[in-house]
Amino acid sequence: MALNNMGYIYKKQDQLNEALSYLKQSLVLREEIQDIKGITMSLVNIGSILQNNNELDSAFYYYSRSLQYSEKTKYDVGISSALVNLGQIHYLKRRHKEELDCYNKAVVILEKIKDYANLSTTLNNIAQVYFIWHEYEKGVQYAIKGMALAQRSGFPEKIRNSAKRLKLLYSTIGDYKLALTNFELEVQMSDSINNTRTRKLAIKSQLKYEYETQAAADSVAHAKENEIKNAELAKQKAEISAKKNQQYALFGGLGLVLVFAGFMYNRFKITQRQKKVIEEQKNIVEEQKKLVEEKQKEVLDSIHYARRIQQAQLPNEKMVSRIFERLKK
């Protein structure tokens, strides 16, 4: 469907080669999945482009295939579309009997499905065949039916085409009043169509201008957005770099702290060992001091003991004084 729609858009832009390429791609896919309705649509669309290129035999081939698929599945819309398009090929090849046969078959289907817009066009095509055959009264009958359905559908283009056909028929049979009436209606519908087209062109131009303006604005905005994004990326890179440097500094400082802590722990262990040695030496000195004090006490006790013995053996001072006085006498 997407490929078919793209082909339709290219057709509307008169880029027929591109349109044909997309429509054929769509047809291949639809045949693969057996989308019968889609196949009939693609075949008709391809035939229409070939018809525009005046490749009538190729167009007839695709329209015929579309008719076969539609009849096989009893797809009325596809049948009527294929019949009308085949009638157009017969018209271009001046095979008007075959043309009329296609249109008559299409009318039956279009009445059945109540497709009044396309029924109006088909009736006008039948009126044209009778005009070519100079059967003007029959032509008028079909053209009047076509006009009634065109007015019922409300499409200005359909009404204009019916009015144009009736104008030609009435002027040919000499009914100039009705010919003038239909000519005025034709002009009125043409003006309406032209006004519609003018509005569409104005809207299209406005939309194009708005699109180009928006596209330019989007381009500038995109450029600014890229600048902002680049600035943000640069800022993010700088922040990431700064964070990495901070992390490196943190890790470096943490490493130094760990080294210093190891050094301090080592000094602490050495100090502990030295303190222990000092305490052991202090204990030894104190023990030796106690031994010296004990020895000193023992010596003093011995001296005191000997002195008491000596004092006990020596006479006291009074006795010595009496002895000296005796000797003096």
Tokens of 103: 């249109």
What is the pLDDT at residue 239?
A: 81
Through-space distance between the first and last CA atoms of the chain, rounded to whole angstroms:
173
Angle at 115 between CA 111 and CA 121, to 5 degrees: 90
Helix 36-52 × helix 56-73 angle, to 10°: 160
Residue 31 contacts residue 37 (beta carbons within 8 Å): no
Q: How far apart are CA 217 and CA 209, in angstroms?
A: 12
pTM of the model: 0.58
Residue 126 contacts residue 103 (beta carbons within 8 Å): yes
What is the pLDDT at residue 217?
A: 46
Q: What is the DSSP string of 23-68?
A: HHHHHHHHHHTT-HHHHHHHHHHHHHHHHHTT-HHHHHHHHHHHHH
What is the pLDDT at residue 3?
A: 94
Q: What is the mean pLDDT of each run of 10 residues along the chain (329 residues)?
A: 92 90 94 90 92 92 93 91 94 94 95 92 95 94 93 89 93 93 91 73 57 54 67 79 78 77 79 79 79 78 75 66 72
Region at 18 (left for phi over 0; alpha for psi -120 to 50; beta for the rest):
alpha
Q: Token pair 């053996």 is at which residue?
A: 313
For 1, 4, 7, 29, 241, the CA distances from 32, given in Å and listed in that order, are 13, 15, 19, 5, 58
What is the pLDDT at residue 101?
A: 96
Residue 158 contacts residue 117 (beta carbons within 8 Å): yes
Q: Does domain 1-114 have CATH number 1.10.4160.10?
A: no
What is the pLDDT at residue 37?
A: 87
